[in-house]
Chains A and B, each alone.
Chain A
Amino acid sequence: MNVFILVLLPLLGSVLPPLAMRWGRNACAWATVAVTAGTLMLAMPPLMQAFRGTPASAHLPWLEGAGFDLTLRMDGLAALFVLLILCIGLLVVIYARYYLSAKDPMGRLYGLLLVFMSAMLGVVLSDNLILMIVFWEMTSLSSFLLIGYWQHRADARQGARMALIVTGLGGLALLAGFLILGQIAGTHQISQILQQGDLIRAHPLYVPALVLILVGAFTKSAQFPFHFWLPKAMAAPTPISAYLHSATMVKAGVFLLARLYPALSGTDIWFFTVSGVGLTTLLMGAYVAIFQHDLKGLLAYSTISHLGLIVLLFGLDTPLAAVAGVFHIINHATFKASLFMAAGIIDHETGTRDMRSLNGLWKYMPHTAALAMIASAAMAGVPLLNGFLSKEMFFAETLHVELLGPAWWILPTAATLAGIFAVAYSARFIHDVFFNGEPQGLPKYPPHEPSRFMKVPVEILAGLCLLVGILPGLTVGPLLHLAASSVTGEPLPSYSLAIWHGFNAPLFMSFVALAGGFAVYGMRRRLFALHERLPFAPDAAALYHSLEDALIRAARALSQGMDNGSLQRSATLLLGAATLAMLLPLTGGGIRGALPASPLDGLTLLGALLLMGASLLTVLWHERRLSAVIALSVVGLLVALVFVRFSAPDLALTQLSVEVVTIMLLLLALFFLPQRHDRLTKISGRIGDILLAAGAGGGCGLLAWGMLTRPVDPISSFFMEQSLPGGGGANVVNVILVDFRGFDTLGEVTVLAVAAIGIYALLDNLRLPVPLRDRDGRLWATERHPLILSQVTRFLLPLALMVAVYLFLRGHNAPGGGFIAGLVAAVALILQYMASGIAWSQRQWRLPFHPLIAFGVLIATATGAGSLLLNHPFLTSTFGHVTLPVVGEFELASAMLFDLGVFLTVVGVIMLILANLGKLTRRGTRLKENR
């Protein structure tokens, strides 16, 4: 389980730096150092295991059926990256403490850095493709936040967004590629996939999978043509650039190439794509780097170029090239991180990174200058430094490519040319900054050496460059061997890590590169002038921006075309699409099923005609609102009769009482809404609406007809059989509600309660104009509570409540139950409110509605939970028989208690809604009187 901790510790530790900020910046930095160093310590045992050849792994099942497991594994390649991530991370943390100014929120930087570190460790340790994608996206997201760390700067925000979009798109492609790869191999476990290289390469889906995965790797590693985000990402604070853009994040792409090397490499398409892209990037990056005036810009393009070199090496597809690739990953990480740090020191001490102002700093900061010179000499590939060794191996490998045939000379020539460029820009970095006259117009003058500890990380890294460069076999040898052999997946051919291999072609190429590079640098003024006059310089970033703009414009046009703020338009589109989707399958015919039609009787026909007529009247009268509501109530009553006609007494009772409440609600609402309105839609629009309505109605009718004429094999025989023995009730509908599907009902009463609370909130503080006259200009009646009604309802109330209790008690065996009883009781109460006024009614019974609702839901839930106490599943019911005088024998089931909860909720909800809406009339009246 040790391996999981490596990923989890930085992630969990990321909350520490922001918390530690209250004890100052040093505490914050120390907390981060402690987390990083702790992770490094914990990484030691699995690292040792990797060296012993028994990779440590950890496995946690997740979605086993889908092949998604949390599997981490630290083999040689992962071990190398874990070391790079943690060691360079530690140095960057120390460096950042001195780089950040007092204004910068240090806790956020360190916290995000640790999140990123965790994500990066996750990428290199994952042994499952899906898990790796998760961490991969996490690096994209956290690097977005890190690049945009200085949120107040527009370039930082834009750079961060560009990096996120490019790497995010790559991540999407990578996900697709991984899924295909998983399909081909039949597993998502990487260590198993790596052993199926032959099967994968022979599969017809190999090419799409490879291309998609390469897009992911190339976007992450800033390969041509996706390289443009990296220079823009230089808006990040320099410690972030040193970490993300030299050693870790951009290396994730080449890591992926190395990781999947045994599974994907060894085909022509691999060779030509990977080495082609790598070569283009190598040359383009090196060339462009020469002309950068910004220190970090130069380093960014140089990074692009070196990443291209590594990609090219993996593309060459020989074991030794893979060794050289891994070696260069190590070397580039060390010298580039130290160069970024040196650039940061220069920026920090002079206030500028422009090489046209920076000159002659040797006099002011000799120590820093010496360190930077070592690192850039390593970058140029000067002997006795680590960059020289891997570059020498690279030159040697370019000479052994057989696939190109007679054109074999292309690669060595291009490699030498890239070497020349590299020497030229390295020379520029040294000569322009540290020599070449006096500094000009520095924002901070005179510059001086930075604080001691800011240089320590640079010293360590520069020292490593020297040490590896002089004693490669003793220092980096074992690690390189370990990592490279786990890349190729087979024993490595013999190779020697030495400075001197005798006079041979690679040495000659190195010499040409050195001499040529200095010559190019010497001619730089003429070259700069020539470069300025180049007629055509393809700018990938500009292309990206115009693409982005076009995309945004298209998206805006589309969304505004779909939704211009008009509900009618959206509803038309939605209903139209739904109607089409419904009608198209119906065009095939064969709608009518096999069942014979049942006989039609006159009374039913009359009822149906009335129902249809009333609903048409609702439409015809919709501008005369009161009439429309009356017509609607007729529809509702007839629907209740339909339920009676077709054997659903419970539904009929429910529909009847809901109808009363709904109509009362609509009448109350009508009081506040404008009495008349003008016709808004043009006649053409109305015809379109009629056609759409006819289509929708016809489609639904056909669907219903098709359904009704087909035989049915319902699942409800179970409920019928089990209702008495299992639920203790004969009314199956009620038993289903309170027992079989009690959990659904619990959800439903909760929804009701939530709706009521929402309505209460909407009514809070609502002021509505109260009309003085009705639509015909007559004054509203002044007597508020008709005497006869108010007296009669007082007699009716106890009777109605008794009916409610009766319906409730018998509900388990005969039509009735909590819903219906609650509705009946609510109607009875509402009648009192209408007849005698809210004030009077509330004086009579102080019924607090909110607690009523809460009690209802609580009782229902508690009934369910009660069965948990008795070790039965939630909502298990029990019952017994009770005999009461008058009522007779009935069952007293625990489900009845549940039904009581339903009853209380329904009463509370309806009363809450109607009583509060009714109160508005009083509030509104007061408003009127004040006026």
Chain B
Amino acid sequence: MESLAACVIAVLVACGVYLVLRARTFTVVLGLSLLSYAVNLFLFFSGRLMTGAPPLATSPGPTADPLPQALVLTAIVIGFGMTAFVVILALRARGELGNDHVDGREDK
């Protein structure tokens, strides 16, 4: 299970990095989204993999670690804020500069 989780993170990061290195703003946004999934999962996994034990104070026995979950919860919402900001920035660049290249100008 642990190796599988690591593989998932590896694939997400690799795909995210590749997309971030593209030349179009929208693709970069897609890449950033994949990267933030990877980061959220990584943070979440730092509490280790627990099955069927949500972190409720009333439940008996060991439960999942609530701290990484709390961190990731806000990270997801903030991640949306960041994605939205980048998307709108890309739109603004498109409006002002007339293209969607990440450098604001087409290559010569």
Answer whether residue A865 sits at the interface, using C-beta atoms and an 8 A cutoff: no
Rounded to whole angstroms, the CA-CA distance of A565 and B105 in the bound complex is: 10
Q: Which of A64-72, A239-247, A523-531, A616-624 contacts B (4 or more CB under 8 A)?
A: A616-624
Answer whether residue A152 sits at the interface, using C-beta atoms and an 8 A cutoff: no
Q: What secondary structure prevails in chain B residues at the interface with A? A: helix
Residues of B37-90 at the interface with A, using a CB-CB cut-off of 8 Å, are 37-38, 40-42, 44-58, 63-67, 69-70, 72-74, 76-85, 87-90
B7 partner residues in chain A, CB cutoff 8 A: 608, 612, 701
Is A604 touching B1 in the complex (CB atoms < 8 A)?
A: yes
Rounded to whole angstroms, the CA-CA distance of A645 and B1 in the bound complex is: 12
Q: Which residue of B lies closest to A910 (CB)?
A: B80
Rounded to whole angstroms, the CA-CA distance of A759 and B81 in the bound complex is: 9
0/1 interface trace, chain A 66-82, chain B, CB 8 Å (1 if under): 00000000000000000
Rounded to whole angstroms, the CA-CA distance of A575 and B17 in the bound complex is: 8
Looking at the complex, which one of A690, A736, A756, A759 makes contact with B18 (CB distance below 8 Å)? A690
Q: Which residue of B lies closest to A601 (CB)?
A: B1
Residues of A644-696 at the interface with B, using a CB-CB cut-off of 8 Å, are 645-651, 654-655, 658, 661-662, 665-666, 669-670, 672-674, 677, 680-681, 689-690, 692-694, 696
Is B64 touching A647 in the complex (CB atoms < 8 A)?
A: yes
Is A665 touching B87 in the complex (CB atoms < 8 A)?
A: yes
Is A568 touching B23 in the complex (CB atoms < 8 A)?
A: yes
A632 partner residues in chain B, CB cutoff 8 A: 30, 33-34
Looking at the complex, which one of A639, A696, A909 makes contact with B41 (CB distance below 8 Å)? A639
Is A819 touching B100 in the complex (CB atoms < 8 A)?
A: no
- Residues of A in contact, count (CB < 8 Å): 113
Looking at the complex, which one of B48, B53, B102, B107 makes contact with A708 (CB distance below 8 Å)? B48
Q: Which residue of B lies closest to A679 (CB)?
A: B23
Is A689 touching B70 in the complex (CB atoms < 8 A)?
A: no
B50 partner residues in chain A, CB cutoff 8 A: 646-647
Q: Which of A15-23, A180-188, A714-722, A776-784 contacts B (4 or more CB under 8 A)?
A: A714-722
Q: Which residue of B lies closest to A575 (CB)?
A: B17
Rounded to whole angstroms, the CA-CA distance of A768 and B92 in the bound complex is: 8
Given A649-B54, A730-B58, A751-B78: A605 and B4 interface contact (C-beta under 8 Å)? yes
Is B30 touching A600 in the complex (CB atoms < 8 A)?
A: no
0/1 interface trace, chain B 1-13, chain A, CB 8 Å (1 if under): 1111111111111
A612 partner residues in chain B, CB cutoff 8 A: 7-8, 11-12
Rounded to whole angstroms, the CA-CA distance of A487 and B40 in the bound complex is: 64
Given A597-B1, A605-B4, A737-B70: A651 and B44 interface contact (C-beta under 8 Å)? yes
Is A628 touching B30 in the complex (CB atoms < 8 A)?
A: yes
Is B81 touching A732 in the complex (CB atoms < 8 A)?
A: no
Is A714 touching B49 in the complex (CB atoms < 8 A)?
A: no
Is B73 touching A674 in the complex (CB atoms < 8 A)?
A: no
Is A651 touching B95 in the complex (CB atoms < 8 A)?
A: no
Given A597-B3, A669-B87, A733-B55: A616 and B11 interface contact (C-beta under 8 Å)? yes
Is B45 touching A707 in the complex (CB atoms < 8 A)?
A: yes
Is B45 touching A708 in the complex (CB atoms < 8 A)?
A: yes
A605 partner residues in chain B, CB cutoff 8 A: 4
Q: Which residue of B lies closest to A768 (CB)?
A: B95
Rounded to whole angstroms, the CA-CA distance of A364 and B44 in the bound complex is: 90
B101 partner residues in chain A, CB cutoff 8 A: 680
0/1 interface trace, chain A 764-789, chain B, CB 8 Å (1 if under): 00111000000000000000000000
Is A622 touching B49 in the complex (CB atoms < 8 A)?
A: no
Given A642-B41, A704-B6, A766-B95: A913 and B84 interface contact (C-beta under 8 Å)? yes
Is A645 touching B8 in the complex (CB atoms < 8 A)?
A: no
Is B73 touching A598 in the complex (CB atoms < 8 A)?
A: no
Is B8 touching A733 in the complex (CB atoms < 8 A)?
A: no
Is A701 touching B6 in the complex (CB atoms < 8 A)?
A: yes
Rounded to whole angstroms, the CA-CA distance of A924 and B2 in the bound complex is: 50
Is B27 touching A622 in the complex (CB atoms < 8 A)?
A: yes
B65 partner residues in chain A, CB cutoff 8 A: 712, 714, 716
Is B88 touching A917 in the complex (CB atoms < 8 A)?
A: yes
Given A604-B1, A693-B15: A622 and B40 interface contact (C-beta under 8 Å)? no
Residues of A734-755 at the interface with B, using a CB-CB cut-off of 8 Å, are 735-737, 741, 744-745, 748, 751-752, 755
Is A669 touching B76 in the complex (CB atoms < 8 A)?
A: no
A446 partner residues in chain B, CB cutoff 8 A: none
Rounded to whole angstroms, the CA-CA distance of A767 and B94 in the bound complex is: 9
Is A756 touching B81 in the complex (CB atoms < 8 A)?
A: yes
Looking at the complex, which one of B23, B79, B92 makes contact with A658 (CB distance below 8 Å)? B79
Q: Which residue of A lies closest to B83 (CB)?
A: A662
Answer whether residue A709 sits at the interface, using C-beta atoms and an 8 A cutoff: yes
Is B87 touching A647 in the complex (CB atoms < 8 A)?
A: no
Q: Which residue of B lies closest to A653 (CB)?
A: B73
Residues of A782-810 at the interface with B, using a CB-CB cut-off of 8 Å, are none
Rounded to whole angstroms, the CA-CA distance of A565 and B107 in the bound complex is: 11
Q: Which residue of A lies closest to B79 (CB)?
A: A658
Answer whether residue A814 sits at the interface, using C-beta atoms and an 8 A cutoff: yes
Looking at the complex, which one of B34, B69, B79, B95 makes contact with A648 (CB distance below 8 Å)? B69
Answer whether residue A636 sits at the interface, using C-beta atoms and an 8 A cutoff: yes
Given A568-B102, A677-B100: A767 and B95 interface contact (C-beta under 8 Å)? yes
Closest CB of chain B to A874's CB: distance in Å?
19
Is B26 touching A625 in the complex (CB atoms < 8 A)?
A: yes
Looking at the complex, which one of A673, A696, A737, A920 makes contact with B26 (CB distance below 8 Å)? A673
Is B85 touching A565 in the complex (CB atoms < 8 A)?
A: no
Closest CB of chain B to A657's CB: distance in Å?
9
Is B77 touching A669 in the complex (CB atoms < 8 A)?
A: no
Given A598-B2, A612-B11: A696 and B17 interface contact (C-beta under 8 Å)? yes
Is A719 touching B67 in the complex (CB atoms < 8 A)?
A: yes
Looking at the complex, which one of B21, B46, B47 makes contact with A571 (CB distance below 8 Å)? B21
- Interface hub of A645, A680, A693, A702 (most chain B Cβ within 10 A): A693
Answer whether residue A589 sits at the interface, using C-beta atoms and an 8 A cutoff: no
- Interface hub of B15, B53, B72 (most chain A Cβ within 10 A): B15
Closest CB of chain A to B76's CB: distance in Å?
5
B38 partner residues in chain A, CB cutoff 8 A: 700
Given A655-B76, A662-B83, A755-B82: A700 and B91 interface contact (C-beta under 8 Å)? no
A26 partner residues in chain B, CB cutoff 8 A: none
Q: Which residue of B lies closest to A688 (CB)?
A: B21
Answer whether residue A599 sits at the interface, using C-beta atoms and an 8 A cutoff: yes
A619 partner residues in chain B, CB cutoff 8 A: 15, 18-19
Answer whether residue A380 sits at the interface, using C-beta atoms and an 8 A cutoff: no
Rounded to whole angstroms, the CA-CA distance of A681 and B65 in the bound complex is: 44
Closest CB of chain B to A870's CB: distance in Å?
25
Answer whether residue A611 sits at the interface, using C-beta atoms and an 8 A cutoff: yes
B1 partner residues in chain A, CB cutoff 8 A: 597-600, 604
B63 partner residues in chain A, CB cutoff 8 A: 647, 720, 732
Looking at the complex, which one of B29, B37, B46, B84 makes contact with A707 (CB distance below 8 Å)? B46
Can you list the 4 inter-chain pairs with the closest CB atoms, starting with the nearest?
A: A701-B10, A697-B14, A705-B6, A732-B66
Interface set of B (CB-CB < 8 Å, partner A): 1-15, 17-27, 29-30, 33-34, 37-38, 40-42, 44-58, 63-67, 69-70, 72-74, 76-85, 87-92, 94-95, 99-103, 107
Q: Can you offer 26 A-B residue contacts whose CB atoms are under 8 A?
A: A568-B102, A571-B20, A595-B2, A612-B11, A619-B15, A622-B19, A647-B52, A647-B54, A651-B73, A680-B107, A689-B17, A689-B18, A693-B13, A693-B17, A697-B10, A697-B12, A712-B48, A715-B67, A724-B57, A731-B57, A737-B74, A752-B78, A767-B95, A768-B94, A813-B58, A906-B77
Interface set of A (CB-CB < 8 Å, partner B): 565-568, 571-572, 575, 595, 597-600, 604-605, 608, 611-612, 615-616, 618-619, 622, 625, 628-629, 632, 635-636, 639, 642-643, 645-651, 654-655, 658, 661-662, 665-666, 669-670, 672-674, 677, 680-681, 689-690, 692-694, 696-698, 700-705, 707-709, 712, 714-716, 719-721, 723-724, 729-733, 735-737, 741, 744-745, 748, 751-752, 755-756, 758-759, 762-763, 766-768, 813-815, 819, 823, 906, 909-910, 913, 917, 920
- Given A598-B2, A697-B13, 20 more contacts at CB 8 Å? A615-B15, A622-B30, A639-B37, A647-B55, A647-B64, A654-B73, A658-B80, A662-B80, A677-B100, A692-B21, A696-B17, A697-B15, A700-B9, A708-B6, A724-B57, A733-B70, A759-B84, A766-B95, A819-B77, A913-B88
